[in-house]
Chains A and B, each alone.
Chain A
Amino acid sequence: MNITIFQSRQFRVFKKHKLAQFGAITLVFFILVAVFADLIAPKDPNKMNLRHSYKAPSSEFFLGTDRIGRDYFSRLVHGTRVSLGVGLGGIGIATIIGILFGGLSGYLGGRIDIFLLKLSELIICFPSIVLILMIVTIVGQSLLNLILIFGFLEWVGLYRLIRSLFMSLKEQEFVEALEAFGVRKFSIMFQHILPNAIAPITVWMTLTLAGMILAEAGLSFLGMGVPLQVPSWGNLLNGAKDLRVLENYPWIWIPPGIVITLAVLSINFLGDGLRDAFNPKS
């Protein structure tokens, strides 16, 4: 009997474990940086000093300075708070809306379902960025607006998931029994049916969070996301649009890019690990 067969499968399971663990630890690290940004950042991220424009990294400025002399490292640290905040805020809102709408649609059906379904179809017709920019154009650009827009647009995926879950589970006998006992619909929906969905909801949350962080980065890079004075990962990369920066000042564009990639990568690893963990082993 071949021992190597054992090795390859267990190795695979363990390896997935490791990546997910790495993802979780990195994510926690980023969250800690975001929470304690004030303590970690050595200088005021908004303090300008035109005499220190584009200085290379040194012991005083860990990551050098940007065009108007602000400490880049401090901006990166505070940017973590903003970028993660936008992502987590958006995810929070989207999750609540997705579950609420999905539950109402799936369980109650009828007009509500038709309306919500149509709404979700309309949102899906637009490429995400196009729709977000269209709305930003109408309502104006601000940090709060960004979070709200993310939240109000990204719920569609979760909505579909929850809706089909409720639609299928609604027919099952335990629900009939609960209804017969006079348990209120609201309670049935959220106390009895929903717990079945914890797994796919969590997986969806991690993957969509990754998407939101990338979206914020892209929008801010274009100058249309987080307002430019507020540091965010994408905003910092906005500085790289200048060719001089690309040619001469690598500390401006490399660190934010790597940080974004690392953050999104770890969320993806975590999401993958969660998906495997929740998958019943065949």
Chain B
Amino acid sequence: MLLIQKVDFMRNLILQIKDLKVYFDTDEGLIKAVDGVSFNVEKNSVVAIVGESGCGKSVTARSILQLLPTNAHIVDGELNFNLGDNKIIEIHKLDRNSREMRAIRGGEISIVFQDPMTFLNPVYTIGYQIYENIKEHLHYKYRNSIAKIHEILASVGISNPIQRSQQFPHELSGGMRQRSMIGMSLSANPKLIIADEPTTALDVTIQAQVLDLMKKIQNEKGMSVILITHDMGVVAEMADFVVVMYMGKIVEKASCQMIFNNPKHPYTIKLLESIPKLGRGRNQKLKPISGTTPNFTSLPTGCLFSPRCDFASSKCSNIPKEIEYSDNHFVSCWKYNEEIKEN
């Protein structure tokens, strides 16, 4: 698609990921961590990417900001970002350390990581680490930044922001650290925030608080959020649109409502069955998904989920094509090709 056409297509989108392929070369061989992933993120919406560990959701998120390790490469695909004012940035074409890419990181798109203990530098104060972002993107001088830092810390619900900004990460609790990370990511008013399992490392009560905070911010500032998680409960609470990934590919994507009320892919169905649901009583039978994820170096041919699928048939030895089951609800499964044909 020409750039001009892209502008038009992306009028309501903040980000378009098209056929993204990210491969790792390792000592054990080539690992196709992300193998043909496509989805759109609409403005002012929350898109959740769900899946088990190792399905490629984190890699997808990091490749948006080109934060991949040196042995990983974006082999194919497009990452189109809507900067506003009819400007589309083709992230996949940018050089990893170029000025443009660095301007986007933290400035237009920022990311919140999972474990604030390891993702914050232990030798610098919280205030300084936020200041770095402000300096880089807003070009404030230090004097002017101090007030802004306190404002940011207050906005993420940290009491005593003046005192806290002078403290080091190890002096804060887990929840406060994560709030600081969130504050840091907001500090330059980005258009899109990627949250990579933001609550996984936190206590359950703190989790709820942080999620509430994120929802509040998203509403107030009209930001778009890509939320990476393996927790369907978090998805239910936060997401507008859900992308389900398995072994580097998308198996189903639909609105949050559709995913919960009318899941189609066998994997999605299994995912939902394996979590307890409030209100269904004490003796719910939880059904874990049988089998384990195959080794990346010895993948099955055809549909990657077929070894664990209850509905597998001979057709599944071919890779299923993605079909649009209904409005903005996509599935990659042979089961539904028939239904569409019949209809």
Q: B131-158: which residues lie under 8 A (CB-CB) from chain A?
A: none
B27 touches A281 (CB 8 A): yes
- CB of B250 to closest CB in A, whole Å: 22
Which residues in A have their C-beta under 8 angstroms from that of B23? 1
Q: Is A111 an interface residue (CB 8 A)?
A: no
Known A13-B27, A281-B27: A2·B73 in contact at CB below 8 Å: yes
Confirm or deny: B273 has a beta carbon within 8 angstroms of a beta carbon on chain A.
no
- In the complex, whether A51 has a CB less than 8 A from a CB of chain B is no
Kindly identify, within residues 246 to 282 of chain A, every residue whose CB is under 8 Å from any CB belonging to chain B. 281
Min CB distance A269 to B, Å, is 21
Q: Looking at the assembled complex, report how far the CB atom of A270 sits from the nearest CB atom of chain B, in whole angstroms.
A: 21
Q: Is the interface of A mostly helix, strand, loop or mixed?
A: helix
Considering only residues 1-59 of chain B, those with a C-beta below 8 Å from chain A are 23, 25, 27
Residues of chain A with a CB closer than 8 A to B75's CB: 1
Q: Which of B166-204 contact A (CB under 8 A)?
A: none
A14 CB, min distance to chain B CBs, angstroms = 11
Closest to A5 in B: B25
B261 at the interface (CB under 8 A from A): no
Q: How far is the CB of B311 from chain A (nearest CB, A)?
A: 35
Q: Within 8 Å CB of A281, what residues of B? A: 27
Q: Establish whether residues B71 and A5, one from each chain, have CB atoms under 8 Å apart when the complex forms.
A: yes
Q: Per-residue CB proximity of A9-27 to B under 8 Å, as 1/0?
A: 1100100000000000000
Name the residue of chain B whose CB is nearest to the CB of A3.
B25
Contact residues on A (Cβ < 8 Å of other chain), bracket: under 10
- Of B23, B27, B71, B75, the most chain A CB neighbours within 10 A belong to B27
Q: Considering the chains assembled together, what is the distance between the CA atoms of A5 and B72 in angstroms?
A: 10
CA distance A10 to B27 in the complex (A): 7
B92 to chain A, nearest CB (A): 15
Residues of A within 8 A of B71 (CB): 5, 9
Residue of A nearest to B75 (CB): A1
Which residues of A, 1-59, contact B by the 8 Å Cβ criterion? 1-2, 5-6, 9-10, 13
Do the beta carbons of B27 and A6 come within 8 Å of each other? no
B73 contacts which chain A residues (CB < 8 A)?
Answer: 1-2, 5
Chain B residues with Cβ below 8 Å from A13 are: 27
Closest chain B residue, CB of each to CB of A2: B73
Bound form: Cα–Cα A199–B327 in Å = 59
* Residue of A whose beta carbon sits closest to that of B29: A6
Q: Separation in Å of the A261 CB from the closest CB of chain B?
A: 32
Q: Give the Cβ gap from A139 to chain B, nearest Cβ, in Å.
A: 48
B residues less than 8 Å from A1 (CB atoms): 23, 73, 75
CA distance A281 to B75 in the complex (A): 24
Contact with A along B50-80 (1 / 0, CB 8 A): 0000000000000000000001010100000
- When C-beta atoms are compared, the residue in chain A nearest to B27 turns out to be A281
A13 to B28, CA, bound (A): 12
Minimal beta-carbon separation of B37 from chain A (angstroms): 18
Minimum CB distance partner of B28 in chain A = A281
Q: What CA separation (Å) do A6 and B30 show in the bound complex? A: 10
* A187 smallest CB distance to B (angstroms): 37
Determine the chain B residues whose CB is within 8 A of the CB of A9 once the complex forms: 25, 27, 71
- Complex contacts, A10 vs chain B, CB 8 Å: 27
A9 CB to closest chain B CB, in angstroms? Answer: 7
**Interface hits, A234-254 → B, CB 8 Å:** none
| Chain B nearest Cβ from A13, distance in angstroms | 7
Least CB distance, A4 to chain B, in whole angstroms: 11
A1, B75: Cα distance in complex, Å: 7
| Bound form: Cα–Cα A130–B300 in Å | 65
A135-184 interface (Cβ within 8 A of B): none
Q: Considering the complex, give the chain A residue whose CB is closest to the CB of B30.
A: A1
Query: Closest CB-CB distance, A16 to chain B, in whole Å?
Result: 12
Q: Mark A201-227, 1 if CB is under 8 A from B, else 0.
A: 000000000000000000000000000
List 5 contacting pairs A-B, 8 Å CB cutoff, sorted by A.
Answer: A1-B23, A2-B73, A6-B25, A9-B27, A281-B27
| Interface pairs A-B: 5 shortest CB-CB | A5-B25, A1-B75, A6-B25, A281-B27, A1-B23
New A-B contacts (12) at CB < 8 Å, excluding given A6-B25, A281-B27: A1-B23, A1-B73, A1-B75, A2-B73, A5-B25, A5-B71, A5-B73, A9-B25, A9-B27, A9-B71, A10-B27, A13-B27
- Which residues from chain A sit less than 8 Å from chain B, CB to CB? 1-2, 5-6, 9-10, 13, 281
Which residues does B use to contact A, with CB under 8 Å?
A: 23, 25, 27, 71, 73, 75
